[in-house]
Amino acid sequence: MDAGGTAGAGEDRGEGGGIRTALAGLTTRGRSFLAAGIAAAICAYVLGQSDLLRVGLLLGVLPLVCVVVLHRTRYRVAGSRRLSPGRMPAGSEARVHLRVDNVSRLPTGLLMLQDRVPYVLGPRPRFVLDRVEPGGRREVSYRVRSDLRGRYPLGPLQLRLTDPFGLCELTRSFSAHDTLTVIPRVEALPPVRLSGEAKGYGEGRQRSLALAGDDDVIPRGYRYGDDLRRVHWRSTARYGELMVRREEQPQRARCTVLLDTRGVAFEGAGPDSSFEWAVSGAASVLVHMLERGFSVRLLTDTGDSVPGEGADGFAGVSQGTAEAAGLMLDTLAVIDHSDGTGLSAAYDTLRGGNEGLLVAFFGDLDEEQAAVAAKMRQRSGGALAFLLDSETWSREPADVPGPPEGSGERLRMLRESGWTAVTVPRGASVEELWRTADHERTTLTSPAGAKAAR
């Protein structure tokens, strides 16, 4: 079964509802037959035409008979839904599989199957099922697509029962719903050597070594499953319980991805807006850093974060890496503009300790907020900033290159405080700017670049 889950089977009982509900299901044809029958009966009474009265009775009674037959239909139908996949990137497609089972001993009549779908995912799908034998099943599917991230409800699934003459239709709804999550676009980023990584242990990991001497060893209590060869007998005799030597403990490098969500910092809306680029960039960096083994945390300007399994964030290169990435992408799927106007809350969260590598996606920064962003650099081992200035973003990529005067001043403030900062022009890819940031960092950290910077 594909990811996304299956809707719980619901049952549709033909005897449900009252006769009044069944009468409300008369189609335009059924109402026309009924009106024509009444009119013919009145004319027959006025004109004294018995033959016309028979015609009127036939036209009037036929829709009522169809209503009663549908109302007393006793077969049961179970329906289910399956999403493939249940989480899809913006701009891609997912397939929804519908299954209808006839769990009664009678064959069904003509069924119209309809699923409720938000407008942003496409038109509402409809299918006609001719006849389902007792114990039989029918499976149909349709595709959905969205350029806008978010969480979209699917359902409830509806069945329309109709008579052979098309005079009456009754609608039955299943109670089960599903949710399709449209996550931001994620671009694959090249592996680059980032400042702030720890040296000497793989891809940016640190290792705190246990001291090897017998007198300096720091033991801990025995736990079920520990190797008996690690028992430290001197400490065992001292404490009166089994004690074992500590193993070398890997300490993962940390990365915090800061996403500026202030409504005043971005202009425009839609899949091609600067804010959507920032969300997509944050998603790409989160997934990339998790794959490289970093402990990753997502932080917004409001100070809210997705901490993961511990205080350091989600741990990468583990069995839970996919789940960690999925949870963060689910968070980014529904993230929206905040009402805040400053970055002070995020700075208060960051100054609690060394955050390792800091990757930030900023919107418009005035002088005050640029100063706050500059202070964030003091609490990190390395810092990369992607600046989405509204004036820069509103220009065409083919326009004269170079950031506007205000954006250039903010870049200078960030770079002087130690940030590796780049502006984001409209149409640029996350991968391209990731390489640009690495080039900027390499230039500034090289002896020639440091001399030129002076």
Pairwise CA distance, residues 39 & 407, whole Å: 78
DSSP conformation letters of 360-420 = EEE----HHHHHHHHHHGGGSSEEEEEE--HHHHHS-TTS--S--HHHHHHHHHHHHTT-E
Tell me whether strands 382-387 and 205-208 are parallel, antiparallel or unpaired: unpaired
Pair 260, 278: CB distance under 8 Å: yes
Span 123-147, mean pLDDT? 91
Tens digits of residue pLDDT in 336-367: 999 988 999 999 888 765 568 899 999 999 99
324: left (phi over 0), alpha (psi -120 to 50) or beta: alpha
Of 129-138, 148-157, 198-207, where does mean pLDDT reach its minimum? 198-207
The CA distances from residue 239 to 210, 219, 225, in Å, are 20, 11, 20
Q: Does residue 38 surpass a pLDDT of 90?
A: yes
Give residue 40's pLDDT: 93
* Burial class of residue 213 in the structure, from the number of CB atoms within 10 Å of its CB (0-12 exposed, 13-18 middle, 19+ buried): exposed
The first and second tokens of residue 254, run together, are 């940390």
Tens digits of residue pLDDT in 86-124: 899 999 999 999 999 988 888 887 788 999 999 999 889
Q: Tokens 């990137």 correspond to what residue? A: 89
| Secondary structure class of 179 (helix, strand, coil) | strand
For residue 171, what are the contacts with CB-CB under 8 A and spacing of at least 6?
25, 158, 159, 160, 161
The CA distances from residue 7 to 4, 309, 374, in Å, are 9, 30, 49
Please state, rounded to an integer, the average pLDDT across all residues of the chain: 80
The first and second tokens of residue 1, run together, are 């079964």
Pairwise CA distance, residues 296 & 252, whole Å: 10
Let me know the angle formed at the C-alpha of 345 by 340 and 346, rounded to the nearest 5 degrees. Answer: 105
